[in-house]
Chains A and B, each alone.
Chain A
Amino acid sequence: MEIKYIGVNDRITDLFEGQFEIPNGISYNSYLVRDEKIAIMDSVDLRFFDKWLENIKKELNDTPPDFLVVNHMEPDHSSSIRHLVLEYPSIKIVSTKKSFDMMRGFFGTDFDESKIVVDNGTALSLGKSTLTFYTAPMVHWPEVMVSYLDTEKTLFSADAFGKFGALDHSEDWACEARRYYFGIVGKYGAQVSSLLKKLSDLKIEKICPLHGPTLDSNLSYYLDLYEKWASYQPEVDGVFIAYTSVYGNTKEGALLLKDELESRGTRVSICDLAREDMHEAIEDAFKYNRLVLATTTYNNGIFPFMREFINHLTERNFQNRTVAFMENGTWAPNAAKTMKSMLENSKNLTIIDTGVTILSALNENSRAQIVALANELVK
Chain B
Amino acid sequence: MKYVCDVCGWVYDEAEGAPEYGIAPGTKFEDLPEDFECPLCGVSKDNFSKE
Contacts and interface: CB of A to CB of B under 8 A. Distances in A.
Interface in A112-140: 135, 137-138
Classify chain B: how many residues form its interface, as a range.
under 10
Contacts of B7: 138, 188, 190-191
Contacts of B42: 135, 137-138
A316 to B, nearest CB: 13
A142 B41 CA distance: 5
Nearest to A120: B42
Contacts of B8: 137-138, 142
Interface in B20-51: 40-43
Chain B at the A interface: SS class = loop
Contacts of A190: 7, 43
Nearest to B47: A190
A190 B5 CA distance: 14
Contacts of B41: 137-138, 142, 191
A98 B40 CA distance: 8
A330 to B, nearest CB: 40
Interface string A95-111: 00010000000000000
Classify chain A: how many residues form its interface, as a range.
under 10
Contacts of A98: 40
Nearest to A194: B42
B46 to A, nearest CB: 12
B2 to A, nearest CB: 19
A142 B42 CA distance: 9
A319 to B, nearest CB: 15
Contacts of A142: 8, 40-41
B47 to A, nearest CB: 9
A199 to B, nearest CB: 16
Nearest to A101: B40
A190 B8 CA distance: 12
Interface string A179-209: 0000000001011000000000000000000
A208 B34 CA distance: 37
A135 B39 CA distance: 13
A208 to B, nearest CB: 24
11 contacts: A135-B42, A137-B8, A137-B40, A137-B41, A138-B7, A138-B41, A142-B41, A190-B7, A190-B43, A191-B7, A191-B43
Interface of B: 7-8, 40-43
Interface of A: 98, 135, 137-138, 142, 188, 190-191
Name the 6 nearest CB pairs between A and B, nearest first: A137-B41, A138-B41, A142-B40, A137-B42, A142-B41, A142-B8
